[in-house]
């Protein structure tokens, strides 16, 4: 079960400045999904957009690089909004 502090619902700025964990190994940030990969031949994180096609933006080795990819490719009108995952 995902536990999210109450102040996250009241503070919309918090949701837009930091990634929010929606599943084990998966985060939502600026209209993008960051997903952890556990395979030795793959890079650690893959980032894809929250659109109907869910286009892959790229993959990277660190979480900081994944957040940078999300900032550079921010989705203004996401298909599935963060609020759908916080229910």
30: left (phi over 0), alpha (psi -120 to 50) or beta: left
Q: pLDDT truncated to tens, each residue of the chain (87 aa)?
A: 445 554 455 555 445 688 999 999 999 999 999 999 999 899 999 999 999 999 999 999 999 999 999 999 999 999 988 888 776
Q: Sign of torsion, CA 36 84 69 53?
A: positive
Q: What is the pLDDT of residue 82?
A: 84
Q: What is the pLDDT of residue 7?
A: 47
Give the number of C-alpha atoms closer than 13 A to the C-alpha of residue 39, restricted to the C-beta side: 8
Q: 70: closest CA among 61, 82, 57, 60?
A: 57
Q: What is the pLDDT of residue 67?
A: 95
Q: What is the pLDDT of residue 81?
A: 85
């Amino acid at each position: 079960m995902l536990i999210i502090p109450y102040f996250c619902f009241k503070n919309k700025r918090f949701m837009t400045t930091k990634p929010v964990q929606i599943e084990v190994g998966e985060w939502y940030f600026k209209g993008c999904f960051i997903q952890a990969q556990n395979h030795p031949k793959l890079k650690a994180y893959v980032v894809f957009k929250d659109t109907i096609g869910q286009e892959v933006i790229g993959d990277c080795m660190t979480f900081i690089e994944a957040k940078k990819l999300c900032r550079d490719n921010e989705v203004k009108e996401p298909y599935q909004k963060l609020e759908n995952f916080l229910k």
